[in-house]
Amino acid sequence: MIAEPVPPRAEISDQDVHDALVLLHGLSNDVVVSIHELARSLKMSFAEAALHSGSITHEQLEEAHVWIRHRAAQQDGGIIEKAMRKRSSARRELIVWEGPKLRPSKQLIVAHDALHPRSESIRSLATEVLMRTRNTAGALIALLSPCSAEGRSQLAGELSIALAQLGRRTLLVDADMRRPRQHVLFDAENAIGLTQALEGSDVRLNGVEGLPQMALLTSGALPPNPLELLSSSRFDQLTVEWRRNFEYVLIDTPPAAKSSDAIAVAAAVGNVIMLSRANITPFRDLKEMSRKLETTHARTLGAVIGKF
């Protein structure tokens, strides 16, 4: 028997290493500029100059290489994106909105300041999510909290950004069809969104500037019957499509203490992250939400306590 030759490992470009080190290890602009200057003067690669200057360790460089190879292995996204843009005569497909890409607002700190303590916390949470869904193909996760003003929408937006920064195809869905926030956080039009998709229209997704792996589905114009729509078979059909086209789908929901919408979403998607706010969220409301979640048999991936 003749062994098949092992294909050579794909070459990693200097730009790939630059991008990975900045993302994973938060190199500041000043440090990056000094590394580039050193690379030019000594005729080194960016990685060699970063090591030579002591800005990174060999372990950090290897971590960047592993991340780059993993991301390269996921780059069948081009095929998926093409498929998402095609209309099928047999059934409706996911359609990417052709307008300008959205810009995350300054409130979504992880998109703008990699060194901010909140960004570090969000990346740690994203890592936990990756670990707890390691063997899950197309993980759908609902973010739930009992009351308003607990930071649920901001967390959903920032966690989606962090997952996309790690090269994971991520969809953020605003299923709060009572007081939606994601269109505000991403400065998006909100005339067409989840409501219209649940009523039978095509799904139109918004791209996000600087995050080619991320898409946003806003709530759309508010319906008179959100719970009915979220409990429908059409919502189940959409979750199947999302699971097929994305690695992670994060779903923002309305306060669980004010409606049953969030519980309906949790029952449909099967995974939940619970959120509360320190010294603000009433314990009785959190306990009641947990009791309702038990009836859905949804898996609780974790609980987050906000302290802002």
| β-bridge pairing 271-277 and 139-144 | parallel
Among 40-44, 169-173, 226-230, the minimum mean pLDDT is found in: 40-44
Query: CA 219, CA 216: separation in Å to the nearest integer?
Result: 10
Co-location of 44 and 149 in the same domain: no
Domain count of the fold of the chain: 2
**Residues 206 and 283 sit within 8 Å (Cβ to Cβ):** no
Residue 190: both structure tokens together: 């909100």
Co-location of 287 and 237 in the same domain: yes
Co-location of 81 and 69 in the same domain: no
> How far lies 128's CA from each of 120, 124, 162, in Å?
12, 6, 12
Q: Measure the CA dihedral 60/63/68/69, to 10°.
A: 150
The verdict on residue 43 lying in a domain is: yes
pTM of the model: 0.70
Residue-level pLDDT at 7: 40
Residue-level pLDDT at 197: 95
Residue 47, domain extent: 14-73
The verdict on residue 5 lying in a domain is: no
**Residues 195 and 230 sit within 8 Å (Cβ to Cβ):** no
**Nearest one of 90, 291, 102 to 184, comparing CA atoms:** 102
> How far lies 197's CA from each of 55, 216, 224, in Å?
48, 13, 15
Residue-level pLDDT at 10: 52
**CATH number of the domain where residue 92 is located:** 3.40.50.300
With 60 as the cut, is the pLDDT of residue 219 above it? yes
The verdict on residue 238 lying in a domain is: yes
With 50 as the cut, is the pLDDT of residue 93 above it? no
Query: CA 171, CA 157: separation in Å to the nearest integer?
Result: 10
Query: CA 185, CA 176: separation in Å to the nearest integer?
Result: 14
Query: CA 201, CA 22: separation in Å to the nearest integer?
Result: 40
Residue-level pLDDT at 178: 96
